[in-house]
Amino acid sequence: KMAEKQEPSNAQNGEPDNAEEGEDKKKKKVKREDLPPFEIVTGERLPAIFFKFQFRNVEYSSGRNKTFLCYVLETQGKESATSRGYLEDEHAAAHAEIAFFNTILPKCDSSSRYNITWYVSSSPCVACADRITETLRKNKNLRLTIMVGRLFMWEEPEMQAALKKMKAAGCKLRIMKPQDFEYVWQNFVEQEEGQEAKAFVPWEDIQENFQYYEEKLAEIL
């Protein structure tokens, strides 16, 4: 959201020109504070600059405080269908994983089967992992595969326990290989209009970082 412009005032010491104006400003301030700190963003393709920064499978993810979740949802039932898109969040309130269940798949139809694949910039936090585990246990007709670029706080015992519970509930957790990053680039990243799609250019340490996280995940699970 764009920052609100401040209107000039003749008041001194930050005080309003009159009491009535002061009350109005107080009400507006309360209303602004009641709003959520961010909005879940959804769409079909994410900007290339976001992908190159947020999905990079570095060991130390400084500054990468968002979760980007690209999904493929296959519904098999009376009307089979496939949909895809992405969600992004900030680590402040409802995360992208929970937003997926609340907005993209708010209600599982027991007469249908769902095959879901997520390509996520980092693995779920403890709260999201618990929600995934709970959802899979309640909905036996749902199959979920999560491909992650990085492992989030994987050294924490609580995080390791949460990932193990996800696996026990039937979730397939995998580290993204270079080919998976290329798949996301081709299917979920915006390409410039009027130009040929640019080929995916892997970063220098993409294979080494994949192997590093793959070993850590194998140790945890």
- 93 neighbors 76 (Cβ within 8 angstroms): no
CB atoms < 10 A from the CB of 109, how many?
13
Query: Residue 170: which region, alpha, beta or left (left: phi > 0; alpha: psi -120 to 50)?
Result: left
- 206 neighbors 179 (Cβ within 8 angstroms): no
Q: Which two tokens stand for residue 43?
A: 């769409």
90's enclosing H/E stretch is: strand 81-90
Task: Indicate the residue type of 83.
Answer: S
CA 148 to CA 165: how far, in whole Å? 17
CA 128 to CA 216: how far, in whole Å? 20
CA 55 to CA 18: how far, in whole Å? 51
Task: Check if 182 is active-site.
Answer: no
Q: Which residues pair with 175 in a beta bridge?
A: 148
Catalytic entry in 59, 97, 193, 215? 97
**Which residues participate in catalysis according to the annotation?**
97
